[in-house]
Structure 1
Amino acid sequence: MTDLQTRAATTGVDAEADLALKAKHRSMWASGDYPTLASDLIWDLGRRVVDAVDPRPGERVLDIAAGSGNVAIPAALRGATVVASDLAPELFETGRRLATEAGAELEWREADAEALPFDDASFDVATSCVGIMFAPHHERAADELVRVVRRDGRIGLLSWTPEGFIGQMFGVMKPYAPPPPPGAQPAPRWGDEAHVRELLGDRVDDVVARRDTILVDRFATAEAFRDYFKTHYGPTIAVYSRIADDPEQVAALDAALVDNARAHGADDGVMRWEYLLLTARRR
């Protein structure tokens, strides 16, 4: 029995259905070109997480849903012993190349955020940058996050807010996406401070949360943004794939994504994408 099956059984979740769901998630994130998107648009977010948790030489750091390493690589460059984990190991090839180019040494490990294959209290620091938020069952992911951090260890989470551009984009795509599986929660809720505080509960102290934005100036028009996300971003690709045989729905989603991007400044050449950065200390 896999780690996921074991933990699913103990929480009353249908293990086989959960495995199928996670296989779909892995395929979604492996589609398109998320490593290029991360490098083009949001690489600096990783450094902001690293600055917030301040990993020190010799400390063990786990980056959950690490993608191609925008947190893990800068953390390793500070001398920490880093494990970059992700449900989609297809993203690691780019991460390994970027780490080599930067002179960083770290471990890459396939792992589900809801069933981490690590011992209790085995890390000094745990992080996630727009990653753990996409685990469908928030309580399970939060439980695993807290479980692997030692007493007085540090947690750093950066997530898109529901009210910000990316959160609004998911709202635009929702009518064209399949219904969420039972028990799944919307990813942007991790950008709601009250929700994350509830998930972590009394297992943490010293919670600090702030909202900020990252400036994105890559796109000259709202249409350019839409076309980039249609070819690079797994969740957008998955929604378009679902409606591919319905030209009217495709046209409607095309227009809705353009309208949303235009409302957030895309036609002016500068967009600001809001996120929540939350840090805490394990009790």
Structure 2
Amino acid sequence: MTPTTTPTTTPTTTPTTTDTIDDRALKARHRAMWALGDYPRVAAELIAELGPALVSAAGVRAGDRVLDVAAGTGNAAVPAALTGARVVAVDLTPELFAAGRAFAARHGVTVEWDEGDAEALPYPDGAFDVVLSCVGAMFAPHHQQAVDELVRACRPGGTIALLNWTSDGFVGELFRALGPYAAPPPTGALSPVRWGDDRYVRRLLGDRVTDVAATPGVLRVDRFPTPQAWRDHWKTVDGPTIATYRALGADPDEVAALDRDLAAVATRFDRGTSGTVLPWEYRIHTARRVG
């Protein structure tokens, strides 16, 4: 597939976005949250297989112009570049780009890295053949605006492919366990686990796409001996979890309660016999933009 437009840093249309003082403050908190901990380690050690799975589902080919939205350290961007595609990775948290560039360099590929908001992408309409997001855009607070931007950036006939955690799987339960301890979300901010629901994603995409397909998958996390070991690792590497613990301050009872709740989630999902095996369920949605 050949792009009809070459992306630039200046959009040709005004992207849909909520641009208020509160929204800018929320985005600043999101950027700081994802810079906490060690997301590059999460991407490399726990979820590395997700990017290739999404790239394969999207049918990325050599010569395609690909956009990876909320790309993090390039979990999908680098596998896309390995096909011979020309790839742009955009993320709200540029602190992750150094690890992403190193990841790309280790694989001998080039990826363009841009700071940008999934709800206001800095690219022209229809600039990309394939628009991807691998457990990334799901964390944008305004889901419809994020999807509107994903669709807008994709050329007519191009592919949109999303990989998201499911609501009733391990990660969905993890989010629910964190919820009572975290600061309440701002008005209008929506839960990321809704993106794992097929009907919800179809509704967000609307009639601007066709050939919508949903494919379930399971990521097997088996590198921890016990649920408690997983918890102790997770609370040092995952930005949202670290932020939640920090919000509890020095309250030992609250910290102990959150420790128990996270270990309980892992215990409930543990499928291992000689060690902990956690199945992290996800769903891949692919669609083709009408036009």
TM over 0.5: yes
Q: Shift of residue 50 of structure 1?
A: 0.5
Unaligned runs of 5+ in 1: none
Structure 1 segments (4+ residues) deviating >3 Å: none
TM-score normalized by structure 2?
Answer: 0.92
Cα distance in 1, alignment partners of residues 198 and 115 from structure 2:
28
Q: Shift of residue 245 of structure 1?
A: 2.4
Asked whether 1:179 is paired with 2:184, we answer yes
Cα distance in 1, alignment partners of residues 14 and 270 from structure 2:
44
Cα distance in 2, alignment partners of residues 254 and 85 from structure 1:
34
Q: 1:269 aligns with which of 276, 280, 288?
A: 276
Cα distance in 2, alignment partners of residues 111 and 14 from structure 1:
14
Asked whether 1:248 is paired with 2:253, we answer yes
3-state SS in 2 of match to 1:181: coil
3-state SS in 2 of match to 1:133: helix
Q: How does 1:21-40 map to 2 (within 5 A)?
A: 21-40=26-45
**% same residue:** 55
> What CA RMSD, in Å, does the superposition of the two structures yield over aligned residues?
1.8
3-state SS in 1 of match to 2:224: coil
Q: 2:112 aligns with which of 96, 107, 116?
A: 107
Report which of the two has the higher share of helix: 1
TM-score normalized by structure 1?
Answer: 0.95
CA contact (8 A) 1:222 1:266 kept: no
Q: Shift of residue 14 of structure 1?
A: 5.1
Cα distance in 2, alignment partners of residues 269 and 223 from structure 1:
9
Q: Shift of residue 266 of structure 1?
A: 6.7
Asked whether 1:280 is paired with 2:287, we answer yes
Partner of 2:150: 145
3-state SS in 1 of match to 2:225: coil
Q: Shift of residue 141 of structure 1?
A: 0.3
Asked whether 1:80 is paired with 2:85, we answer yes
3-state SS in 1 of match to 2:186: coil
Partner of 1:220: 225
CA contact (8 A) 1:226 1:254 kept: yes
Change (3 A) 1:186 1:168: same
Unaligned runs of 5+ in 2: 1-9
Partner of 2:169: 164
CA contact (8 A) 1:225 1:266 kept: no
Partner of 1:190: 195
Q: Shift of residue 15 of structure 1?
A: 1.7
**Which is further off, 171-180 or 13-22?**
13-22
Cα distance in 2, alignment partners of residues 244 and 17 from structure 1:
24
Matched positions, count: 279
